[in-house]
Copies of this chain bind each other. A is one copy, B any other.
Amino acid sequence: MDALLDLPQLRTFFTLAQTGSFTACARRLNRTQSAVSHAMARLEELAGVRLLERRGRSLGLTEEGRRLYQACEQVFATLDAASEDLRRHQSLSKGRLRVGATVEFGSSILMRHMQPFLAANPDLEIDFTLSHDLLAPLLRDDLDLIIDCLEHLLPSLKKTPLFRETYVVACAPAFRKAHRIRVPGDLGRCPVLSLDKAGTWWNRFLMAVPGRDQPQLERFIAIDHIRAMIHAAAEGMGALLVPRYSVLEELERGDLVALFPAIRPAEDRFSIYQKKVKASQEKQKLLTRYLQGLSPAEFGS
């Protein structure tokens, strides 16, 4: 009857209208800007009408776009309600699910969000394994799934993208003041915390800095534990480069301040790696879907 409207496209259009920017929308939906652009092109072509007003920097909706937006509001309201309803009534899975994650991610972010999930599925028992070496236990059958930003090395694992891991450079407010840090170049003079002694840890940042602003980092302090590094930074020991999720609280409380927000180090993509076994498959899906449902903002992207 219709064949005219495609849900993912509409969802994109909807959040695009809300965010007001292709890039922002893409980040919110865990897509690339290109994907959003393509999707909107398809949608407009399908509709046969221009829906967006591109005026350089800002963008708005056309008359038709506004009407479509209203339709979207309704549609997504009922749709989300329906899927919420389904989620509630789905037969509760019983049994055990063994989840792995790196300590840093697991202890900070993951734990925070597991509570509601466990509350919703009281019959599910979950074991968490937080370590740095997750692959071994996964292979040894100790784990059903892990959450990490590995490359996809094992074909036997199903990979489901979760969110983008963004990095921030940060330091204690007093530290910034003391060293008068304003541009990346200023970092050359002050101590920086690194996971490794050689300081290769900071390459991710350096590569994102425009050529002429390149700081010559020299005074590295090596700490091989992220949590410890964060505490050290909060005490004013130096600047650090960490996944944003690991310092959400510190940033909020003001223990740390983010430096150079304009510079965006390369992102990694956290994914869920599922082991393909029948026994825990349903439970894996349950958790996977729950985590996918969380907005990227919850992970600090």
Contact = CB atoms under 8 A, between A and B. Distances in A.
Interface of A: 1-7, 47-49, 63-64, 67-68, 71, 74-76, 78-83, 85-87, 89-91, 282, 285-286, 289, 292-293, 295
A4 B63 CA distance: 30
Given A5-B7, A49-B91, A289-B3, A86 B64 contact: yes
A293 B49 CA distance: 18
Copies of this chain per assembly: 2
SS of A interface (majority): helix
Contacts of A6: 7
Given A2-B79, A2-B83, 4 more contacts: A5-B83, A48-B86, A48-B285, A68-B86
A92 to B, nearest CB: 10
B1 A295 contact: yes
A3 to B, nearest CB: 6
Contact of A49 (B1, B89, B289): B89
A186 B80 CA distance: 58
Given A1-B295, A2-B80, A79-B2, A48 B286 contact: yes
27 contacts: A1-B80, A1-B293, A1-B295, A2-B293, A3-B292, A3-B293, A4-B83, A4-B86, A4-B289, A5-B79, A47-B83, A48-B285, A49-B91, A64-B85, A64-B86, A64-B89, A67-B82, A67-B85, A68-B82, A68-B86, A71-B78, A71-B79, A71-B81, A71-B82, A74-B78, A75-B78, A75-B79
Contact of A90 (B47, B86, B292): B47
Nearest to A65: B86
A161 to B, nearest CB: 11
Contacts of A47: 83, 86, 90
A5 B81 CA distance: 11
A87 B4 contact: yes
A82 B1 contact: no
A44 to B, nearest CB: 10
Contacts of A68: 82, 85-86
A86 B45 CA distance: 11
The residue in A78, A282, A292 that gathers the most chain B C-beta atoms within 10 A of its C-beta is A78
A65 to B, nearest CB: 10
Q: Which 3 A-B pairs have the closest CB atoms?
A: A48-B90, A71-B82, A4-B83
A88 to B, nearest CB: 10
